[in-house]
Each structure stands twice: as C-alpha cells, then as structure tokens.
Chains A and B, each alone.
Chain A
Amino acid sequence: MLDNDSRRLILAHFWLAFAAFLVAVILGEWQMYIRSPLRAWIQNPELYYRSVTAHGSALGYVVPTLVAMGFGYAITELALKQRLIGRRWAWAGFALVVIGVVTAMVPVSMGLASVLYTFYPPMIANPFYYIGIVLVVVGSWIWVALMSINLRAWKKNHPGEPIPLAMFGNVAGSYLWAWTSLGAAIELLFQIIPVALGWRSTIDAGLARVFFSWTLHAIVYFWLIPTYLAFYTLVPRAIGGRLYSDAMGRIAFILFLVFSMPIGIHHLFQDPQVGAGVKFLHAVFTGMVSVPTLLTVFTICASVEIAGRLRGGRGAFGWIAALPWKNPMMLAVAFSFVMLGFGGAGGIINMSYQLDFAVHNTQWITGHFHLIFGGAIVIMYFALAYDLWPHLTGRELGNVGLIRLQLWLWFIGMIVVTFPWHFVGILGMPRRMAYFDYTVPAIAPQAVSVTITFLGGLLLVASAFLFVLILLQGHRGRHITLPEFRFSMPVHQPARLPVALNSFALWLALMVGLTIVNYGYPIAQLMALEQTSVPAVPIGGPR
C-alpha cells in the first residue's frame, strides 16, 4: 500500500508529466495547422522551430522521464512492499526536474533556443536551455540511484528470493537510462555548453552527433520500459489472466539493457564522419533489439489468450471474442500492439542500411517515431495512469465509457496522423520543414496529406484533453476502499531463479563491453582527428 507521502510524490511526477504532455500535444497540432494548406503561411519559420523545440523537449525529455520516475517509485513500494528509502532525495530529484524544465523552457519560449530537442550542433542556443536539460537529467539520475539503493535493501532482507518482475524491469530501465543519458550529457557538458557560454567559438559537430546517437536510440527504450512493465505486470491481472512466463519478461528486459544502447549509429547512416563498417555493425545489433520485442509480443499474446480461455473462449479464435473488450486495459494493449506492429515493421526498414537511404530525413521518420512513442508507448502511459489512479487518490476513477472513448480517439488519431506521414515520406517529403509551398506542382498533390494529419491531430488534442479531464475527475470521485494493489501472477511463480536472471552485474558488464566495441573506435577516431571543428551558429541572437 502507498502511504500519503508516497502518493503525493508519485502524483507530483505524474501531474507535471501530464501537464507538459497536454501543452506539447497542443503545440504539435498548431505545427500541423500552420503547415497545412488550411491557412496562409505564418511567414516566420522561427516560430515553427520554436514550437518544435518545445514539443520535442517536453515529450522527449520531460514527460517519459517523469512517468518512468513516478511509476518507478510506485513499483518500489508496491512490488517490494517496503517503504521508499530516500524520499527526501526523491523530492530533491523532482525539484531539479521542475527547475530544469523552467530553466529550459524560458529561453525556448523567448525564441532563444530553437535548435530542436536533438540540439543539432553547430547550432548553438541560449546556455540556459542546455543547463535546464542537464538539470532534468541530473534529477532523473537521483531516481536511478534510489532504485538501486531500494533494491539492494530489499535483497539484503530477502536473500536468494526472486526480485519481483516489476522491480526487475524497473531497475533495468533505470540502469539503461543512466548509461544512455551519458552520451548526451558528455555532448552537452564538454562540447555544447562551453560554446553556448562563449568560452569557445567552434564545435566538432560530427563528434557531437556521435555522442548524441549514444543517447538518441536507447532513450526510446527508456520511454518504452514503463509500457513493457505495464504489458507484463498490469495487463494480465487487469484482464483476468495470468502472465505466461515470468522468465521471458526478465529476459526481455535484460536484452533491452544489453542491446538497446550500443546501436545508435543507425541514426547516422547518412553521416560521412562514421565508417561504413561501423554502421553495418550497428545495423546488425539494431536488428537484435527486435528480439525482446518479439518475445514480448509472444508472451503477452499468450497471456491474453490465457485470459480469453479462462473466460470460456474456445477454439483457435474463439478466445479473442471472449476477451473483456470493455476493459480499458484490454483496449489499450490491443491498440498498443497494432501500433507497435506497424511502427516496429517501419523500424526494421529504418535500421536496414540500404532501405534507410530511401526514407532518411523524410516524413516517414516522423511517422515512425510518433507511431511507436506517441502511439504504442503513450497509450500504455494512459492505461497505467488509469490503473494506478485509484491507488493514488483513494477515490473511484469514474466513467469507464469516457476512458474507452479517450483511448479510441488517441488510437484513431495517431493512425490518421502517422499513416499519411509514412506514405508521403516514401514519396520524399522532407521532415523538419517549417512550411511547404503548395503552389509548386511537384508537391501540390501532397498537400492533402498535411490536411489529413491536421484532422488526425484534432482527435489527439481531444483525447489529450479528455485524459487530463478524466484524471482530474478522479480526484473528486467517490472514496473507496481498495483491495491491495497486485501485479500480474505468472502461470508458474518461480521460487528460485538462476543468479543471472535475478541480478544485473553480468548484463551491465555486457552492455558496457558492447558499447566499447561499437562506439570505442568512432569516438576515439573523431577525437583524434585534427581540424574537424566548425564555427558555431548562434540561434536567436541578433542577425
């Protein structure tokens, strides 16, 4: 059970996340509107990039980090059944995130930091933008340390016992974040911030991009971990089934830990500063990250089938009809899998060195990461918030019909937004464009796609408002006495586990080892090369 102080801590994380989420969704829709043929161009590309920077920074750094942190604190108490150790530190971490968000967003809204959340040196923004991002990351590092400390304390009291799967995945996610955030942290602290503060006037953009790629891919898996935790530890229980395999869950989290970070150079397939052999190596290991996802799809489908059969479903497909389709968690997991399927297939295209040439830097990429993150991942953030909310507020979370509507709107909206993007991406429509000149005959036929995505975006905005509304109503619902919070029960509850599946040392060693193999040479080479720096391009300064 969560005590009041923990509830406040977790709610603070969730509310800041969801408030930022709502603002970011509205900005995203505005971006689609001003680029669409529905209105004349706003004549100022800087406003567009300012909005993209805020949208990306909020959804890339703030929202998922806070959800992972809040969910992580909840798991620590609910799965380990012990009081959170270091609660003051947790509040300090949260305070750092808040200060960081404000510090970063002030220059962004003033138009002094329109460099997009991926930084793109040699563009250099106001230093406070980067300092704010660093504060957010440092705040989350406190969370990483607390997760590790709490697990250690539990292990001391429960020698040899299997770590509950929820905590195992949670800690794996925190270690993954600690390691993957290091790349961007190095880029910010040693390359970008010294230039932003005016101590240096040139920057090695190629090396900076390599460091950012260290972070850029695995950050997505960090966003994904709460979703996978919900798949494994909430979905089977919520729909009345059992988790098909506890060990499979552990293996999936372990594989993410080892493989998701040292593969980021597939984001640099078109960059000249990295050798083709290194890119190939990263492509191969990127292929390996599909393994834990395929394992998860199998395990969760099997778990859902168990639920369907327990509810009297028969035959090869009869169990599907027997599933509790009115249950929001059921709906969310189904939507999430559909989007994960399409997005994952698209991702395998992106990671293929040759196929990437056709879609690199097109709207296809925008479609891909919105489908995976905005779709498959975020819809499970909704589901886990709905699942936890009564335990955080002590009140009933009202209208299930409204929740279903919210999930449907988000699902349909995200499909309507991302499918046209994929299509026009194949036709070659570039991404990060502040406007399109629809009078040019070559792109006039693509104008309709921008209108369609705008309409899809309207559904997303409606859904985001509904989501926040439902959660707000949750604070005013009827007081209820809840049964103790439970995570999913596996079909076979392991009494003992091999050390490998109950600890992280081996997997962290493999993660670091693989990083050295895959990143060691390109980083060392670029650092050793002379005359690779270019003049910084200040953004937002007087012209």
Chain B
Amino acid sequence: MNATDERLFSFKNIWFTASVGALVGIAIVAAIIGFIWIPSAQKGNRIESLWDAICTAAGLPQPFRPLGQPTTPVERPSNVIVTAQMMQPADSLSIGRGGTLALQCTMCHGARGMSQANSPNLAGQYASSIYKQLRDFKSGHRKSAIMEPLVANLSDQDMRDLAAYYAYLPRERTYSPGQEQGDAPLIVRNGSPMRNIAPCGSCHGGIDTKTATPRLDGQPQAYVRAQLHAFANGARRNDLHEQMRNIARQMTEEEIDAAARFYATR
C-alpha cells in the first residue's frame, strides 16, 4: 500500500488499533485498580457499594462520617464538646452562688479549693474543665462512686456556678516537703514522637494550652498518677477523641511517675 493513501483513522490500520487499544486498556485497568479495588480494600473505608467506592476515589465530597465515633449518646466518651465560647464570662452573682454550692465539696477539695486529701486542687482551674467533668459525672461518662451521687441533683446552672467559683479562687502553691521543682522531664518537654506521645506541656501548659485541657500545675501526685493509670487501662474514658487514653497507654511507669511528680511540684 502506498503510504500516501494509507488511512490512519481506521480499525484496519494496526497503528491506530494498537495505540488506541493500548491506551484504553491501560486507562481501564488503572481505573479499576484506583477506583474500585484500592478503595474497597483499604481498611477503615466503609464502602457500601461499587458506586460508593467510585465516588470515594473520585473525591466526591461526602457528609462527614467520623470513623469509629459511636452515634448513640451512651456509647460516646462524653456529651460535652469544649469550645472557647462554652463558658460565659462569670459575674459575681454566679461566683457567689458557686461559693455556696461549694460548701458541700470542702470535705475533699478543701475550704478554698486546695485539697488535703489527694483530691484534685480546684482553685484556679479553668472553668470549662470543671464544668465538663461535672457534666461527665452526672451523665455517667466519668465514673466515681463519690462524685456521681453528689452531682446527681445539680442543674446546669449549678455546675456553671461551681466552675465559675473555683476558677475565681486563686491557686496556691502547695507545700511539698523534700521535693524541689526540678527541670521538666523529657516526657513533659519532648514527649516521645516514636511512640506518638506529644509533650505533656504542649497542651497542659508550659509550652502551650488548648481549649479543652485542664491545668495540671500543682495537682496532687497521687491523683495525676491514678488518672493516667485509669486512662491507660480504660477505667476512665471521657476523653472525646481518645487522646489521653492513647497517650497513657504508651507511657511507661517511669514516665507516669516523672510527669506526676513534675506537675505536683509546680
């Protein structure tokens, strides 16, 4: 055949058939792998149908379905989502009511929020932290044989007043004989990146604070240690995104001790 009258766009032309065939073939195989096989095989993807797989791979925006987040209230770690706007600025009325209500807390948490009994020191704690824990005790998301009956009859406003009162109290330095404030231990300063542990100080003060984290400075050593153990063994599970459980599980006994001792002396 003469080259000049050879028809290019014809299935009889081997160049046309082979090149178009090869290109379409590669595209189809790649599309099957990329749009069907991989999304279906990936762990954690909830693929319900073929169409679902294709939409996921194509990047179609989908309604937010947080993975592994239970939808029923009881299964949730907590009903409280702490935001910066959650607590209104406290007025003196609220603080006063809180002071009255706090009379029934003094047995453990001290007359002015400083405990003598290894219960948490509440003076100067963030209002949002106190409010969240009270609500979690009330809803049963945080377990305590002592706290649960005490909060059972508190209204939402009562809890806000208590939080405002304790946040208003000045934090006093605790006297811890024989324990001088040392340098922050590695776990507080650096965490342990290889074990996915962020530095304690990056949320709990020292380096940075976050909206939903309590201040740990001056908390009793026994209390901090007990809470870390409770997070590690799952006895306490009211951290919304499991962040404290994940961290505590990875911490060694020495690190738990070091962190608890450090914060107790601050």
Contact = CB atoms under 8 A, between A and B. Distances in A.
A276 to B, nearest CB: 6
A203 to B, nearest CB: 19
A278 B58 CA distance: 6
B38 interface: yes
Interface residues of B, number: 29
Contacts of A160: 2-4
Nearest to B2: A160
Contacts of B19: 258, 500, 506-507, 510
B59 A280 contact: no
Interface string B212-246: 00000000000000000000000000000000000
A506 B34 contact: no
A89 interface: no
Interface in B1-40: 2-4, 6-9, 13, 15-16, 19-20, 23, 26-27, 30-31, 33-35, 38-39
Contacts of B8: 499-500, 503, 505-506
B23 A510 contact: yes
Contacts of A501: 15
A498 B15 contact: yes
Contacts of B35: 277, 280-281
B27 A517 contact: yes
A339 B254 CA distance: 52
Interface in A306-363: none
A451 interface: no
Nearest to A503: B8
Interface stretch (A91-99, A145-153, A401-409, A521-529): A521-529
B59 A278 contact: yes
Contacts of B58: 275, 277-278, 521, 525
Given A159-B4, A503-B8, A514 B23 contact: yes
A288 interface: yes
Nearest to A288: B26
B30 A285 contact: yes
A181 to B, nearest CB: 23
B61 interface: yes
A45 B38 CA distance: 43
Contact of B3 (A278, A285, A498, A529): A498
A451 to B, nearest CB: 28
B42 to A, nearest CB: 9
B174 interface: no
A201 interface: no
Interface string A261-275: 000000000000111
Interface of B: 2-4, 6-9, 13, 15-16, 19-20, 23, 26-27, 30-31, 33-35, 38-39, 54, 56-61
8 contacts: A277-B35, A281-B30, A285-B30, A288-B26, A498-B15, A499-B8, A506-B15, A510-B20
Given A280-B57, A498-B3, 9 more contacts: A160-B2, A277-B31, A277-B38, A277-B58, A285-B30, A499-B3, A499-B7, A499-B8, A501-B15
The 6 A-B residue pairs with the shortest CB-CB distance in the complex, in nearest-first order: A275-B59, A277-B57, A280-B34, A500-B15, A284-B30, A277-B35
